A and B are shown apart, each in its own frame.
Chain A
Amino acid sequence: MSDGELKVSKIKNGTVIDHITAGMAPAVLKILGIEQGCHDTVIVAMNVRSQRLGLKDMVKVENRVLEAETVKKIAIVAPHATVNIIKDFAVVQKIPVELPQELIGIVRCSNRNCITNIERVTSYVVVESREPLRLRCHYCETLIEGPYASVLLL
């Protein structure tokens, strides 16, 4: 582990989400659905020293491989995160965490009067800026500022 003093157990099989923005590990757990309960081992580290980010969070989940939609959601709350798939204690795949230009069915529009919050319409949000994160609803054009995006995840 390149970040020196961090000492947490390795997992045999599963996923390691590293370089999560400090303080955002609970949001990542929510995206993974782990706050609703989980039978597998989950290791959470928060405010760990990081050369790249200053401080970072980390989540390790045993026996879980993330779907592409889940990785997009993680990109919203932790744009610098890295996702590593682990098999027999070794990294076998690195999944890039990249925010796509368009998020369909991932983030709800914050405008209560938006058609997507009234009729049965899949939400459709366009990424206007990655840093700072700024999203705009394709339909009602409401601007969604980064900090609000995490609470609007579907």
Chain B
Amino acid sequence: MVQGPKLDWRGKDIISIRDLSREHIEDVLYHAQQIRPDPNLLQGRVMASLFFEPSTRTQLSFATAMQRLGGRVIGFSGTESTSIAKGESLQDTVRTVEKYADIIVMRHPLEGSARLVADTVSIPVINAGDGANQHPTQTLMDLFTIKKFHNRLDDLKIGLVGDLKYGRTVHSLAIAFTRFRKIQLRLISPPNLRMPPSVLQELTGIVSYSETDQLDLSDLDVVYVTRIQKERFPDIEEYEKVKGAYVITPKVCETLKPTAILLHPLPRVDEITPEVDTLPQAKYFEQVQNGVPVRMALLKLLLLGA
């Protein structure tokens, strides 16, 4: 990866992939590739990790990233033991937190909460997921993984598989690809879990895409599989109907190109069988590992600049 023009990151927020240009994305990926653990780099800095709803990977990888750079982590997971349980507003909570910390990483169940917090406080804010809306650092680590294996983010055939209606990771990834050239997206999902028209509208005229319910993966460079998320269904019967619709098995993987990579934002339930894990195309655990360097790079850029 080659460093582009020096961008001004210090004090910025990372709220939505829509805020990031190609230059921004490539700069983060460049720094993620370069960064190494350094116990002195963020020594004395404090990251507030505000997880209003549970998370395993995101919360732990942010904490790991901060600690590998010598910073400290404060915060909470769940709201039971906080003033929020007493009815404190989100804005009041973060106005307090900014007095203690240098940067906020937040996950919250309500859409728009991250932007509200960024508008409220003067320290940098990283959105670690706001409801069904955005999770930009997931998208950056997805792109980092794709770039690592294909050495490019242009001229790729990408299949997005599974829940394309409720899955925020696929919305963000599809929008991110509007920043790159010669991308062909194949949107593979049951008819009732298609990509929302509002996302398709953003792709139109920029990214070539097709929608299908057939699991045809044979010519793809990247296959991105998503979990059909029970918690996003207002109607449990609708969930039961579609939960096993697109399962990746070793037999399905026989149709993949040898150079194809299989990604998944995790956690998976039964959409990729465990036997697939040892196949050469299975890269989802490397993808999750890439969350750490990408988040290390972001913490460094927002706190210290490029």
Interface residues of A (CB under 8 A from B): 109, 111, 113-116, 118-121, 137-143
Contacts and interface: CB of A to CB of B under 8 A. Distances in A.
Contact of A115 (B16, B113, B198, B201): B113
A21 to B, nearest CB: 23
Contacts, number: 54
A140 B133 contact: yes
A141 B112 contact: yes
Given A115-B90, A121-B116, A138-B115, A143 B198 contact: yes
B112 A114 contact: yes
Contacts of B130: 140
A119 B113 CA distance: 10
A109 B89 contact: no
Interface string B221-248: 0000000000000000000000000000
Q: Is the interface of A mostly helix, strand, loop or mixed?
A: loop
A113 B131 CA distance: 8
B90 A119 contact: yes
Contacts of B198: 142-143
Most-contacted residue by chain A among B90, B109, B112, B131 (CB, 10 A):
B112
A140 B131 contact: yes
Contacts of B91: 119, 121
Nearest to A116: B112
18 contacts: A111-B112, A113-B132, A115-B108, A115-B111, A115-B112, A115-B113, A116-B112, A116-B116, A119-B116, A121-B116, A137-B112, A139-B113, A140-B110, A140-B112, A140-B130, A140-B133, A141-B16, A142-B198
Contacts of A111: 111-112
A140 B115 CA distance: 8
Contacts of B89: 119-120
B201 A114 contact: no
Given A119-B90, A120-B89, A121-B116, A141 B134 contact: yes
Contacts of B16: 141
B116 A141 contact: no
Interface of B: 16, 18, 89-91, 108-113, 115-116, 130-134, 198, 201
Given A113-B132, A115-B116, A139 B90 contact: no
A147 to B, nearest CB: 14
A111 B198 CA distance: 13
A142 B201 contact: no
B88 to A, nearest CB: 11
Given A121-B116, A139-B115, A141-B18, A115 B110 contact: yes
Contacts of A121: 91, 116
A120 B89 CA distance: 8
Most-contacted residue by chain B among A109, A120, A143 (CB, 10 A) = A143
- For the complex of A and B, the 7 pairs showing the least CB-CB separation, nearest first, are A139-B112, A140-B112, A140-B111, A143-B198, A115-B112, A115-B110, A139-B115
A90 B109 CA distance: 56
A137 B116 CA distance: 11
Contacts of A113: 109-111, 131-132
Contacts of B109: 113
Contacts of B108: 115
Which of B110, B111, B198, B201 has the largest count of A CB atoms less than 10 A from its CB?
A: B111
Nearest to B120: A121
Nearest to A121: B116
B139 to A, nearest CB: 14
Contacts of A109: 112
A141 B133 contact: yes
Contact of A139 (B18, B111, B201): B111
A114 B111 contact: yes
Nearest to A109: B112
Contacts of A115: 90, 108, 110-113, 116
Contacts of B201: 143
